[in-house]
Amino acid sequence: MDKPAQPAARLRLVGLVFLLSGSANAQLPPPAGPQGRFLKPAVLVGEPLDYELRYEHAPDLEVVFPDSLAEFGPFEYVGKTYFPTRTRQGRSLDRAIYHLRTFRLDSVQRLALPVAVLRGEDTLRVAPLASQVRLRRTAALQPATGLPELRQNLDLVPVEPVFNYPYWVAGAVALLLLLAGSAALFRRPLTRRYQAYKMRKNHGYFLAQFARHVERFELSRSANNVERAVALWKNYLAGLENSELSSFTTREIVAYFANEVDVSKALSATDKVIYGNLQTDDAEEVDQAFQRLRGFAERRYASVSN
């Protein structure tokens, strides 16, 4: 009579076991998520602020912490400090500190950085509870009431004129560019005119000095005046011809001017007076030599100036 009751008793036992196991599984706590917190309770605007993110998990779990591209609002990302994974007693701990700052004016600001958990081809984002930090103000809050009444005033106020440096600098630069362009454009004609003016002044000075030496010779009949007149003639022609005529001998000068008759006869006559004894009968010949030298200098000036 007891044997038929055994199967029913076994069924009740199996059901009880499943019930206990199911209730036990339902009572197991879920794995702990990441933890995030600010390392100080209050912060000033723009002041550095550290946020610590840590996650304790199974050693075989692949965990990825946020990088610089994560969403840190309302904070700005400045940098980060990672710590190596530490495993103790079958649990691994990942930890990182993010260096942030804020320029928002909210009294309380919150942040919860999520952690990515890799499970095969799937990715699970696990976020900690939001951590908050209080903004410490340096200026006292203005009361909402008691503000002064605004009055409209459309009267013009005289303004002291200010020196306009940019326009003056631009004008000076434009003037310099205009002068430089004009100099480049008219440089050659201006140079020619200046050289012609200079030659004309030198020629007039030569004629005046040469006439003075001739006049002195007529009064004194001195060989020194003849020598000075010839030296003046040589120096003038040296500058006019742009040569070294002043250091040439009489023979070299005659050869330089291709045996010019006036030059040859004039220098021959003056050499007799300078290096020989001056005679009264030779005065007329010296006067003709002066005329030849002056005439030749005027012809050379006319040919060069044209």
* Crossing angle of helices 223-241 and 165-220, rounded to 10°: 150
pLDDT, average across residues 17-25: 37
Residue 174 has pLDDT above 60, yes or no: yes
CB neighbours of residue 247 within 10 Å: 9
Question: Of 37, 68, 31, 60, which is closest to residue 50 (Cα–Cα)?
Answer: 37
pTM: 0.42
Cα–Cα distance measured from residue 14 to residue 70, given in angstroms and rounded to the nearest whole number: 52
pLDDT, average across residues 163-170: 89
Residue 126 has pLDDT above 80, yes or no: yes
pLDDT band at 71 (very low <50, low <70, confident <90, very high): very high
Residue 212: C-alpha distances to residues 192, 207, 285 (Å): 30, 9, 18
User: Residue 132, SS3?
Assistant: strand
Q: Which structure tokens are listed for 135?
A: 């903004």
Higher pLDDT: 218 or 233? It is 233
pLDDT band at 113 (very low <50, low <70, confident <90, very high): very high
Cα–Cα distance measured from residue 51 to residue 44, given in angstroms and rounded to the nearest whole number: 15
pLDDT, average across residues 300-304: 87
Using CB atoms within 10 Å of the CB of residue 166, give its burial: 0 to 12 exposed, 13 to 18 middle, 19+ buried: exposed
Residue 193 has pLDDT above 70, yes or no: yes
